[in-house]
Every structure is written in C-alpha cells, then in structure tokens.
Structure 1
Amino acid sequence: MEPNNRRSFLKKATLATTSLGLGLMDHSAAFAPKKTKNKLPKWRGFNLLDFFSPEMERGRKNKEEYLRWMADWGFDFVRIPMSYPSYLNFDRTKPIRPDEVLNFDEERLEEIDRLVDLSHKYGLHVSLNLHRAPGFCINAGFIEPYNLWEDDEALEAFCAHWEMWSKRYKNISSKKLSFDLVNEPYKRQDPNDQHSPGGPVPVEEYRKVAKAALATIKGINKKRLVIADGNGGGGIAVPELADLDLHQSCRGYFPMHISHHKASWVYKDPDSLPDPSWPAAHNNTYYGREQLEKHYAPWIELLKKGVGVHCGECGCYNKTPHKVFLAWFGDVLDILHENGIGFGIWEFSGTFGVLNSGRTDIAYEDWYGEKLDREMLNLLMKYA
C-alpha cells in the first residue's frame, strides 16, 4: 500500500470509531473566533540525526522501516539537522581551517541525498538544517575557525554552503523540501565552550546572517521555503525578521527543568537534581499551563504578522519521570495544535524518541524487535 493510501486508511479507521458521537457535537464551536491561519503547514514528525555529528559515521542512523512507520502512523515531516564537517573532506586529526570549510565530499553528500530521497519515498516533508554551521554551533565538541555572527569570512562560507544545497536541490518542490538556516542561534563569550556564558545573538547580527543566506537561496530558487530558528537557543521569537521572506521555528523545551532534566550537556552536576513535577513550583517559580501559554504568546503574535511558525524541535530527555513528561507535553502539544503549529520530536529512536528511549520507569511494547513507548506514541498520534 502506498504511503498516502496507508495514511488515509489509518485516519478513516480512526474517524469510523468516533462517528457515533457526531450527533452530540457542540455546534457553538462554529461561532468561535477564528484562529490566525498559519502560513506553514502543520507538519508533524521527527528529527533524524544521521548527520548530526561532525563525524558522519557517528550519526544515529535511522532504518528505512522507521520512515515507513512514521508515515503509517500519520506523520508527514522529518527535520535533518546536519553538522557541516560531516560532509567535508579535510584532515580530521586537526582543527578545521577556514580554507577547508568548502571541501565538499561528493560521496558524503550522496549519503544525505539518499536520506532525503528515502524520506520523500514515504511522503515525508524534509526540513534540511545546518545544526553546525561554519562558525557556530550551540553544542561543543568541534573547534570552529571563526565566528559566524562577527566574521565576514564565516558568513561567506555559511552562504556558500546554502548555495551548494540550493543548487543541489533546486528542482525539488518546496512542498517536499524546506531549508532551516541555522540551529538555535546563541552567542557565547567563548564560542567553542558549551558552558561559556552567553545569550541571544544581537538582533542586528542575526538579521545580517539570515538576510545574506536568504538572498543566496532565493537567488537560486525564489520559491524555496526558508525557516529561521528562534533566537537565544531557539525559544525567542524574532519579530525583527518578520519583514523578510522567512518563516520561523520555535522549540518545545520550556521549561528546561522538565524537558532536559539531568541532561549532562545542560547541567554541570545533573545527578544532584531532584525529580520535577508538572504543574508545580520550581526554584520559587510556578510552572503550569498558563505559563506555557505566556511562553508561546510571542509566537502567536508572529502568526498574526503573517509569519509561518513551526516547532522544529521538542520532546523530553529520558530522565524526566514518564508521567511528568506526558502531563507536561500534553499541554505543549495542545497549545501548538490550537494555533495550527506542527512539531518535530527531537528524534524517533533514542533518548527523546518513541523507540528505544532507555527509560527505566515504563514497560515498553515490543515492536518488531524495537522498544516502543506506546503511551508517548498515542499522545503524538492525537495530533498526527
């Protein structure tokens, strides 16, 4: 059965189980105020981390059946966060030099082509993202030769990468492929130290980078759909970009003491943290549904300005108690859904995923040899 037919069958089956209740529908909903229409589709799906590492062979490889299951379960979106060194040819025993950042390796590029093509085979929209761009990554683990936000040479290289991808995929429709410029803009005192103090990129610097890359991409295919991540690590809406032909990507990680509980790349002493609750106070601040709505209010304002919004990353690390995760994430997904905003779970299989997440507080369902978090999947499928 073709992907679209499978998806149609699953949706029809779901509708059939609820059709008896249609006569009890509250018709007052027809008179409710209309929500602002989102200019981006309400894509729902997952991030694929095959090329997330600077070393391509260390990426978290996804199997073809994962893509088929996504489609069968009603999902229609994958985001591919890429580390630019993963598809270059250079001496990996030394820090990369500025003159090496454009040494594209055709064999490595073809590996990415295959994942894009395979995703399209199952009817999934692909969002291609530079998770590590020349001169910037929110994660440590690789020494950058310059600073994307400050150095013209880095910006030129950044645009050259997007020029390469734009030409390579020029003839693929925006219905099937979009570009996500750079993952989670953030500016640290020491760009190569993940724990160095920092904060949002000054808006004029972010705008300069986004505008230059946008011009490069649109100069090759003016119809290409282009997305900019929120500032300050993805969570801050950027109305200063609203006049550009850009849509924006938020995050589903607020508050981080829920989403990233005991994450070693966030906290210096993760094991000392007490388990969180939802809703509940944390460090003398109360967090619940109302605080979530306030957090997403600036993103809803962007929708009113005509900027499309999608949640490119969301989910929860496996150290958060499962019941707390589901209670919190149900509120997150409700708010996104009510405003026509789709989502991309950080991964399909792994510590944030529906498969093989490594939790110790749930009973997994065996799914063709994989460990399935059925409760999480059921929650996601409510919105797929």
Structure 2
Amino acid sequence: MNTPDSRRDFLKKSALLGTGLSLAGTTSLPAFDLAAKSKNKLPAWKGFNLLDFFSDHPDRGRPTKPEYVKWIADWGFDFARIPISYPSYLDIDRSRPIRPDEVLNFDESRLEKVDELVERCISQGLHVSLNLHRAPGFCINAGFVEPYNLWKDQEAQDAFCAHWEMWAKRYKGISKKRLSFDLVNEPFQREDPNDQHSPGGPVNISDYHRVAEAALNTIKSVKKSRLVIADGNGGGGIAMPELADLELAQSCRGYHPFPISHYKAGWVYKDPENVPPVDWPLKQGERILDIEEIRKYYAPWKALVDQGVGVHCGECGCYNETPHDVFLSWFGDVLEVLKENGIGFGIWEFSGAFGVMNSGRKDVAYEDWYGEKLDRKFLELLKKQI
C-alpha cells in the first residue's frame, strides 16, 4: 500500500535523480551516450507501453505486475511509456460525463498510484515517458463526452496546461535522463468524436502548435531541462517540421501498413470478419508494399532527425489476429528501418493482444514463463535490436 510517507520517500529519492543518481544505485545511462554519437538527438530507447492508467476508470486499468518491470529490464530493455487517461486520477462522479469544473479535481491517492509505477520503472533503470492518452478536451478514442475541444477552446488549453504543471511540479526532482513528458496521444480530428468509425484527419497545425507551445512553456517554467515530446499529427503518423521551432522531440508510430498491424481489429473495422487476408510483402492493387515502402513512410521522420529534431517511436506492434509469421516478417522490417534511422520504440503493451506476454494468438506455441504465456519468437526479434 502506498502511504504519504512512501510518496515523500519517493520524491526525496527523486531529488537525488535530479543530480544524476539512480534509484538503482549503479545503473548506467548508456542510451544518452549513444544518442550523442547518433544524428538522432533522442536516445534509441526500446521497451513497452504499460497500461495501468489507460482506462478512464481507475479500477479498470491493466495492472503491471512487479515482475513484469523486472523482466523488461533483465531482458535488456530500457523504456516504459505510461499512457494515462486523465479522469483516472481525478475525484469525480463517474456515472456521467465530466464537467469543466471537475477537470482539476486531482485525487492524491490516485496520483500516488502513478508515483508507484514510475518509481518501480526508474528503480529498474527504465526511462519513463509519461503521456496523456486522454487529455482535457481530446482523446483519439471515442465513447465518452469531453466538455470542450482542446484544439479550439481556451478553457480546455488552460486545463491541459494545468495538468502538465501538476506533473512537472510533482516530478521536478527527476532527471530528464529518467523521465520525459509526452504531451498528448495521437492528435486527430474526428467528424463525430463519439463515433470510433467516424472519418477524420490531422489537427490544424496552427492549433497544434499553439497548444503544444503553451504546454511546453508551462512545463519548462517548472523545470527548464525537462524533455518534452509531441506525438505525430493525424493519429501519430505525420511528422511535423512546423513544430521544429519549439524545443520538442517528436514521436512517430510503427503501425504501417495499417491493414497488417490492425488486421481484424474491432475498433478499426465495422465488419472485421470480412477483412481480406494479409501477407508480407502486402499486395494492394498493382502495388507491392515491402521494406522499401516502410523506408518511404519513415522518410519524413528521417528528415526531422537530419534537421536536428529528436524522434522516438512511442507506439508500435501488431494486433493478435494477424498471422504470426506475417507479423514477424513485417515487423522485422519495421524494426530494421527504425534502427537504420537511430529511432527507438515502445511496443504498445507488454502483456495483452499486442504484447510478448499473453497475446492470445491462436497460432503461437507459447513458452511457459513463470506461469505466463511468452511469445519467445517475438521477444527474440525485439532483443536483436538491443
């Protein structure tokens, strides 16, 4: 159980992190050393997203077992992205849509649960990327009602900045080598925010620039050295040279081509059972998509790296309905191209449909790993990148 004393102890230890020391004591920081030798200003961190606070309801997340973090570190990974739905750490009435007057009702007991996961990851030598997956006024997912629009309403922008000010102050003592902030997950404008299948596209770039700059300035006012990341536009995939004037790194995605990464995904397709079979290379009409197509896809991100903007792939992977051999063949090419450009990655989840553990794939001979179902072939593919 996390107590006020335990949190004070964590924040006291965090002050040591600000001086470059580690909760793990002797953990080195090779990723930043390697980044200095690469064109990419960001370290090529490699790891996983942890979905403890991904749900709006604090009791419906996907808890990360303590041994998961240890295994991630023991296998040589050094990165954990924590996507958070902001209502998960508020004291609100969850039986109805959230109101504007409630979006800053921070619940200390729920914030301490985030502290606990952050501390656990840092203590194992992982760099933590804290991300607002649902932010005041926006989420790429549908199925709930936000009280305003982050990209258009000043009140939403003010609330967004207030959340990041809270996190910046809370973790002020933690070094940028241990913690970064990923502003908002996958900016996107949907015609109907309540319909997951509604068409949409990129956020107006001037709106994104305004919101990102405001949040960046808020964070930097608390800790000037904090590393801040902006997700690519249009759902994460569109590089943004228009934001290069800001002191922001950028985060791409590893889901291209989408028909492979999200094959038969129910939140993507209205009729998933009738989606055509996939293979890799993938034939689309007269075109054959192969590793050269992936290189073309990442060319704008390579251009950002060449321009001096740090780039990391915050999310990547493949849904469990894609045939395993197709997935591994395709994803091996994705990882190769990311490596060519010095870009690290975060698999969407550690345990679950996209993960190396307990993915629920029907065509995998799982290895029993302390009672968990390990996809050894997937893990070994990832470990080749370390």
**The one of 211, 229, 235 aligned to 2:213:** 211
Deviations 1:275-315 (A, max 9, x none): 20000213554211111000000000000111000000000
**Counterpart of 1:201?**
203
- CA gap of 1:320–1:40, structure 2 versus 1, over 3 A, is same
1:105 alignment partner AA? D
**The one of 315, 318, 333 aligned to 2:317:** 315
> Is residue 39 of structure 1 aligned with residue 41 of structure 2?
yes
Query: Which runs of structure 2 are paired with 1:213-232 in the superposition (5 Å)?
Result: 213-232=215-234
Q: Distance in 2 between matches of 1:152 and 1:216?
A: 15
**Counterpart of 1:355?**
357
Query: Which runs of structure 2 are paired with 1:21-36 in the superposition (5 Å)?
Result: none
Runs of 5+ consecutive residues of structure 1 not aligned to the other structure:
9-34
Q: Distance in 1 between matches of 2:27 and 2:249?
A: 30
Q: Distance in 1 between matches of 2:240 and 2:189?
A: 15
1:196 alignment partner AA? S
Q: Is the 8 A contact 1:4 1:123 kept in 2?
A: no
Deviations 1:6-47 (A, max 9, x none): 999xxxxxxxxxxxxxxxxxxxxxxxxxx9611001100000
State the Cα distance separating 1:142 from its structure 2 match: 2.1
> Is residue 165 of structure 1 aligned with residue 147 of structure 2?
no
Q: Is the 8 A contact 2:321 2:361 kept in 1?
A: yes
Deviations 1:246-276 (A, max 9, x none): 0000000001000000001111111111220
Q: Distance in 2 between matches of 1:168 and 1:7?
A: 24
**The one of 135, 138, 150 aligned to 1:136:** 138
**Counterpart of 1:22?**
none
> Is residue 278 of structure 1 aligned with residue 280 of structure 2?
yes
Q: Distance in 2 between matches of 1:147 and 1:266?
A: 23
**The one of 89, 92, 110 aligned to 2:91:** 89
Q: Is the 8 A contact 2:135 2:160 kept in 1?
A: yes
Q: Distance in 1 between matches of 2:77 and 2:360?
A: 23
**Counterpart of 2:158?**
156
Q: Distance in 2 between matches of 1:139 and 1:221?
A: 31
**Counterpart of 1:298?**
300
Q: Distance in 1 between matches of 2:106 and 2:178?
A: 24
> Is residue 268 of structure 1 aligned with residue 288 of structure 2?
no
Runs of 5+ consecutive residues of structure 2 not aligned to the other structure:
1-22, 30-36
Cα RMSD for the two superposed structures? 1.6
**Counterpart of 2:258?**
256
Q: Distance in 1 between matches of 2:138 and 2:312?
A: 22
**Counterpart of 1:325?**
327
Worse-superposed segment, 195-204 or 360-369:
195-204
2:41 alignment partner AA? K
> Is residue 59 of structure 1 aligned with residue 28 of structure 2?
no
DSSP 3-state at the match of 2:59: helix
Q: Is the 8 A contact 1:228 1:246 kept in 2?
A: yes
2:67 alignment partner AA? E
2:225 alignment partner AA? K
State the Cα distance separating 1:196 from its structure 2 match: 1.8
- CA gap of 1:354–1:5, structure 2 versus 1, over 3 A, is farther
DSSP 3-state at the match of 1:240: helix
1:337 alignment partner AA? K
Worse-superposed segment, 155-164 or 191-200:
191-200
**The one of 317, 320, 339 aligned to 1:337:** 339
Q: Distance in 1 between matches of 2:254 and 2:26?
A: 30
Deviations 1:76-98 (A, max 9, x none): 00000000000001111111000
Task: Give the alignment's TM-score, normalised by structure 1.
Answer: 0.91
- CA gap of 1:62–1:316, structure 2 versus 1, over 3 A, is same
Task: Give the alignment's TM-score, normalised by structure 2.
Answer: 0.90
**Counterpart of 1:110?**
112
DSSP 3-state at the match of 1:294: helix
1:211 alignment partner AA? E
